[in-house]
């Protein structure tokens, strides 16, 4: 859940995925990057990428922000990864193969042979165990990824991850760049540790923000959280050789990104909104749905609100939202959220199963509620935009729609830090929020179940819906993908008729590149895989 992890760290942007590309044949100019230039892809070429930085560190054990995820993806290999924009199934990276036990508690990874870190040290299973334990024990933003998981190395080429409970998400979890594999010897020499006291004892962050300690296609040359980060190709990388000798990632606001990529002063702009990208020519545009989910909650606790917890009232809200109108606001590339699981993930509902706008049914449900024409308060973060969409604009549309039903919505916009307090406490009468994936697996959305993290934020207590809770328990321990997909779809269909959550939209994610850049795609975990570009 990007919001609670990132917002806790002060971040306000979201990783997103584009799924289709288009562009014209116009050529791009030569970029400028403080003395570097590029004419075409090749070992001596420089790629300039512009992004509005959400960046605190490049130390994998402490990094969980969008810009950091994009950069660490090419500095550090992970056990498994994803290719292009496809996040439906992990593929090998440092691990050449893996197996899972039938109870989804034990996952065994066989490491690729002959891989070396950029400094020449061999990559071994002990490095993997050190790296995963270090992230876990530092207790930073990404430490939850290893919660309940134990890493061991029975030999130099084998890593075993054991979960205390069934955890079908482990192959997806280990793709996260926060679980990138570091050279244990080098990091330990620089003050790093994977001990239980790592939260206070580890002192390697400063060095890792100067020199990377990974085996990825690039190494770190310079680092700034406010201006730019420079990467240099790793000549000894074990995989396909990097097409660019140098990559410069610059901190630039979206409006300037548009101008720079049109002028050829950069090759990639990451943060443009659909409105900003509209009408651009001479460039290629990756435009598709983000995995970020906007949703409304109607608190299910009668102690918080007898109105919002009324099931007929919740039905009236669900039927009374004009979803096509929200898509118009969100722009080209956005899609209606058919359920809480994003459209590109295993277990997502087809578009045909999405809730539909039906004003007559909404009015009938409100009449059946016995509430008359109620007034409710909806809280939202007024200082936050995601994928170019302002929460204030979206809240106003929902308010307008529900007024047609006969529901008066008082909007309560607050700073994100203030709004988060009541959201996390589960005391909002109604709320407008978003959720971004911690990892691209449907099990991440079990957080929406009764008694779970987000469920409790909507007052949906354990025992509120035994049938859904039973399905959730089955989903958590089912390992076969087709069976998992079916169960998660059943869960969402039930939620779309009997839960306090109203999924709204997945906004568009836009990535713009000059035509000189080949294989431009974006991904639900990292903005762009810079190592795949040609």
CA 2, CA 142: separation in Å to the nearest integer?
11
Q: What is the pLDDT along the chain (534 residues), one digit of tens a residue?
A: 445 444 433 333 333 333 233 333 233 333 333 334 443 445 679 999 999 999 999 999 999 999 999 999 999 999 999 999 999 889 999 999 999 998 899 999 999 999 999 999 999 999 999 999 999 999 999 999 999 999 999 999 999 999 999 899 999 999 999 999 999 999 999 999 999 999 999 999 999 999 999 999 999 999 999 999 999 999 999 999 999 999 999 999 999 999 999 999 999 999 999 999 999 999 999 998 999 999 999 999 999 999 999 999 999 999 999 999 999 999 999 999 999 999 999 999 999 999 999 999 999 999 999 999 999 999 999 998 888 899 999 999 999 999 999 999 999 999 998 999 999 999 999 999 999 998 999 999 999 999 999 999 999 999 999 999 999 999 988 888 899 999 999 999 999 999 999 999 999 999 999 999 999 998 888 999 999 998
Q: What domain range includes position 434?
A: 295-505
Between the CA of residue 390 and those of 138, 384, 386, 397, 508, what are the distances in Å? 34, 6, 7, 11, 13
Q: Are residues 204 and 325 in the same domain?
A: no
Q: What is the reported pLDDT for 43?
A: 66
Q: Are residues 314 and 424 in the same domain?
A: yes
Question: How many CB atoms lie under 10 A from the CB of residue 126?
Answer: 14
CA 290, CA 296: separation in Å to the nearest integer?
18
CA 185, CA 189: separation in Å to the nearest integer?
6
Q: Are residues 482 and 356 in the same domain?
A: yes
Q: Are residues 170 and 95 in the same domain?
A: yes
526: its two tokens: 């990292």
CA 531, CA 486: separation in Å to the nearest integer?
34
Quick one: which of 89, 509, 145 has its CA closest to 293?
509
Q: What is the reported pLDDT for 13?
A: 37
CATH value at residue 421: 3.10.105.10
Q: Are residues 500 and 519 in the same domain?
A: no
Output phi, psi for 434, to 5 deg. Answer: -140, 160
Q: Are residues 322 and 415 in the same domain?
A: yes
Q: What is the reported pLDDT for 157?
A: 97
449: its two tokens: 């179940």
Q: Are residues 449 and 433 in the same domain?
A: yes
Q: Are residues 320 and 334 in the same domain?
A: yes
CA 358, CA 324: separation in Å to the nearest integer?
12
Q: Are residues 215 and 321 in the same domain?
A: no
Specify the number of domains making up the chain.
Answer: 2
Three-state SS at 525? coil
Q: What is the reported pLDDT for 32?
A: 36
Q: Are residues 194 and 246 in the same domain?
A: yes
Three-state SS at 285? strand
CATH value at residue 46: 3.40.190.10
CA 321, CA 343: separation in Å to the nearest integer?
20
Q: Are residues 229 and 266 in the same domain?
A: yes
Q: Are residues 163 and 239 in the same domain?
A: yes
Q: What sign for the dihedral angle of Cα 438, 442, 447, 448?
A: positive
Between the CA of residue 120 and those of 74, 93, 290, 466, what are the distances in Å? 17, 18, 38, 55
Q: Which residue has the tokens 């957080």?
A: 447
Q: What is the reported pLDDT for 1?
A: 44
Residues with Cβ within 8 Å of residue 16, at least 6 apart in sequence: 290, 291, 292, 387, 436, 507, 509, 522, 524, 527
């Amino acid at each position: 859940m990007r919001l609670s992890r990132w917002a806790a760290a002060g971040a306000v942007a979201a990783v997103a995925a584009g799924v289709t590309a288009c562009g014209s044949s116009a050529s791009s100019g030569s970029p400028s990057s403080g003395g570097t230039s590029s004419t075409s892809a090749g070992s001596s070429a420089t790629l300039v990428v512009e992004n509005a930085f959400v960046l605190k560190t490049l130390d994998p054990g402490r990094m969980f922000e969008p810009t950091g995820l994009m950069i660490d993806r090419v500095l550090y290999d992970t056990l498994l990864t994803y290719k292009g924009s496809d996040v439906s199934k992990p593929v090998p990276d440092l691990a050449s193969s893996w197996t899972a036990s039938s109870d989804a508690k034990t996952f065994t990874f066989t490491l690729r042979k002959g891989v070396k870190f950029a400094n020449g040290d061999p990559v071994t299973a002990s490095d993997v165990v050190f790296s995963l334990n270090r992230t876990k024990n530092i207790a930073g933003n990404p430490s939850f990824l290893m919660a309940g998981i134990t890493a061991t190395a029975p030999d130099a080429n084998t890593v075993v991850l054991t979960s205390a409970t069934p955890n079908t998400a482990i192959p997806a979890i280990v793709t996260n760049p926060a679980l990138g594999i570091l050279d244990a010897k080098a990091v330990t020499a620089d003050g790093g540790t994977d001990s239980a006291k790592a939260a206070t004892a580890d002192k390697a962050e400063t060095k890792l923000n100067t020199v990377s300690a990974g085996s990825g296609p690039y190494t770190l040359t310079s680092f700034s959280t406010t201006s730019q980060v420079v990467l240099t190709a790793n000549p000894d990388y074990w995989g396909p050789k990097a097409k660019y000798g140098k990559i410069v990632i610059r901190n630039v606001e979206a409006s300037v990104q548009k101008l720079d990529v049109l002028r050829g002063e950069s090759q990639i702009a990451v943060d443009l909104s659909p409105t900003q990208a509209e009408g651009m020519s001479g460039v290629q545009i990756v435009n598709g749905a983000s995995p970020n989910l906007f949703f409304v909650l109607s608190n299910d606790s009668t102690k918080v609100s007898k109105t919002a917890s009324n099931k007929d009232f919740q039905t009236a809200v669900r039927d009374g939202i004009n979803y096509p109108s929200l898509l118009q606001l969100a722009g080209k590339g956005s899609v209606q959220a058919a359920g809480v699981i994003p459209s590109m993930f295993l277990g997502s509902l087809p578009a045909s199963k999405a809730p539909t706008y039906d004003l007559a049914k909404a009015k009938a449900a409100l009449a059946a509620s016995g509430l008359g024409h109620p007034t409710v308060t909806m809280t939202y973060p007024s200082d936050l935009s995601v994928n170019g969409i302002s929460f204030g604009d979206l809240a106003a549309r929902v308010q307008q729609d529900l007024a047609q039903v006969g529901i008066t919505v008082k909007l309560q916009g607050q700073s994100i830090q203030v709004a988060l307090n009541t959201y996390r406490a589960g005391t909002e009468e109604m709320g407008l929020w978003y959720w971004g994936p911690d990892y691209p697996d449907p099990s991440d959305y079990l957080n929406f179940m009764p008694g779970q993290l987000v469920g409790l934020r909507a007052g949906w207590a354990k025992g509120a819906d035994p049938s859904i809770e039973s399905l959730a328990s089955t989903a958590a321990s089912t390992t076969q993908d087709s069976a998992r997909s079916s169960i998660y779809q059943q869960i969402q269909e039930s939620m779309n008729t009997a839960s306090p959550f109203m999924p709204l939209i997945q906004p568009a994610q836009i990535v713009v590149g000059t035509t000189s850049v080949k294989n431009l795609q974006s991904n639900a975990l990292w903005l762009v895989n810079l190592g795949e570009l040609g």
